[in-house]
Amino acid sequence: MLKLGVNIDHVATIREARYRGVITGEPDPVEAALTCEAAGAHGITAHLREDRRHIQDRDIFELQKRIKTRLNFEMANAPEIVAIALKLKPHIVCLVPERRQEVTTEGGLDVVRNERALLQTRKRMNAAGIEVSLFIGPDLDQIEASARIGAQFIELHTGAYAEHFSNKRRCKIELNRLIAGAKLAHKLGLQVNAGHGLNLENLPLLHRVPHLVELNIGHSIVSRAVFVGLRQAVKDFLAAMKNYKG
């Protein structure tokens, strides 16, 4: 069964637009996470950025305390955030690149160039009982490097696939890259998640990518929730995923 992890960063973004620097405010991303769980989501994803632009420290610790599914803690490989992760002890961390000017994470990690640093963080997380995922593009060299450092998961960046979905030729190229990447990762013993830019239009074609464990989706679920409500939005995505054969 293909699992759905709901990224609640965009709920926090809405809150911070009005309540930046205030301890309380709406909408509450923790309550949003609980609603997603009640609707059938298999996990919750949240990214504590170094600049704290959306998710705050209090959100992360409250999530770990209150959710009953799997917390996927997205994070930069930065000393302050690594220390928080080791204190938090989520089920899994997903190491992502982080640039201050971007609105959301726009690219994958360069594991090849940062292999030594990522290896050290992977060892520290695993020693604390935390699984490690690396957010990477469907590049074969990056996948091989991810296996070398001993990550348990990779999360394939589906942004290029989503961006070119309306162009049949480019979409086919990007889809084939994802398929090849997933096959190699599986062969090397890595578990495969995917995410970025996925929506109800482009998700069905993604079923052609083998060996997927979980999709992490945020923006499209939150934007759909404006019209149908958060619970129904989650259910709509679960319905679109249920025929995945792996």
DSSP string for 60-129: HHHHHHH-SSEEEEEE-S-HHHHHHHHHH--SEEEE----TT-SS--S---TTTTHHHHHHHHHHHHHTT
Catalytic residue among 16, 98, 196, 214: 196
Considering only CA atoms, which of 164, 73, 149 is closest in space to residue 110? 149
Give the C-alpha separation, 210 to 181, whole Å: 9
Catalytic residue among 16, 37, 74, 98: 74
Is 115 annotated in the active site?
no
Catalytic residue among 10, 42, 47, 54: 47
**What is the three-class DSSP state of 241?**
helix
Is 196 annotated in the active site?
yes
Q: Which two tokens stand for residue 14?
A: 């809405």
Is 47 annotated in the active site?
yes
Active site residues: 47, 74, 196
